[in-house]
Amino acid sequence: MSQDQFTPQDPTTQHDSPGSGEKGVPYPGRTDEMDVQPDHGEQTYRGTGRLEGRKTVITGGDSGIGRSVALAFAREGADVAISYLPDEEKDAQETVRLIEEAGRRALTVPGDLREQAQCEELVERVVAEFGGIDVLVSNAAYQMAQSAGIEEITPEQFDRVMKTNVYALFWLAKAALPHLRPGSSIIATSSVQAFSPSPHLLDYATSKAAIVNFVKGLAGNLAEKGIRVNSVAPGPVWTPLIPATMPEDKLGEFGAQAPMGRAAQPAELAPFYVFLASQESSYMTGEVLGVTGGSPIT
């Protein structure tokens, strides 16, 4: 259900609950495998030049929140590089199409960010192709729900979650720093799970709490350099990661726990990344913007 972003609407009914009847898909999940397609803002997002000429990079930019942010950044006038797992090439090419359709340059850098060398290569490729980096969005994430909690979480899974969600943010920020000028912005995707952890997402929630702390600490570290560091903390969002990592019998109720009674669509997250990337948020750093459908992040 697509709506004009400027028309006042009842937020509880603006989008349908997407998970009813959805079937599970193999990890990492592709958009075209989903029965109910996410809304990335294809028909609704209107740019106003707020990121004109910016050089940006988005990890996990092939689908979900990453695609919606890539689309919004491009329509705001930015060139966009995206990273993603090689298995997600089909989704990545659709994101490229949307970026180029907006008249901006797109760069794809597939690879696994659990490796420090891949994080460094991503930064090097973007700098070589675009001539610098103005905005780094660390958005790629891994989760795998385990109904029994810690009893089912293997050391291998815990390691994968931490390296994808936390280590990659550290490696990317460290590699990008020499190329970031005053006025640049680092934005990390955390989660409502950082503040209200679900038992079946224990390791994922722990990693998202680490991101919140890292963002606050790094913001203080880089403030005198004129580089801002902030985070967006989504609540439940309908992306390919959900049917790929949650039990099929739980998909129908996905998002129902939010006070608004539904999951968000990726398009509802993108404006907050644009705000944090733009000059409009020039006096904000070390902040976490909760986009949770009413769930608290305190």
Rounded to a whole number of angstroms, the CA Rg of the chain reads 18
Q: Please work out, in degrees rounded to the nearest 5, the angle formed at the alpha carbon of residue 230 by the alpha carbons of 44 and 286.
A: 145
For residue 206, give Cα distances in angstroms to 47, 150, 254. Answer: 35, 12, 20
Is 26 exposed, middle or buried (CB count within 10 Å of its CB: 0-12, 13-18, 19+)?
A: exposed
Contact (Cβ atoms closer than 8 angstroms) between residue 130 and residue 79: yes
Catalytic member of 84, 167, 204, 273: 204
Residue 167 a catalytic site member: no
Give phi and psi for 79, each to the nearest 5. -80, 145
For residue 293, give Cα distances in angstroms to 65, 88, 263. Answer: 15, 28, 8
Categorise residue 226: left if φ over 0, alpha if ψ from -120 to 50, beta otherwise: left
The helix-helix angle for 168-176 and 116-130 (nearest 10°) equals 40
Give phi and psi for 81, each to the nearest 5. -105, 140
DSSP 60: T
Contact (Cβ atoms closer than 8 angstroms) between residue 90 and residue 115: no
**Whole-number Å distance between alpha carbons of 188 and 210:** 11
Contact (Cβ atoms closer than 8 angstroms) between residue 136 and residue 172: yes
Q: Which two tokens stand for residue 262?
A: 């539904």
Q: Which residues are catalytic?
A: 204
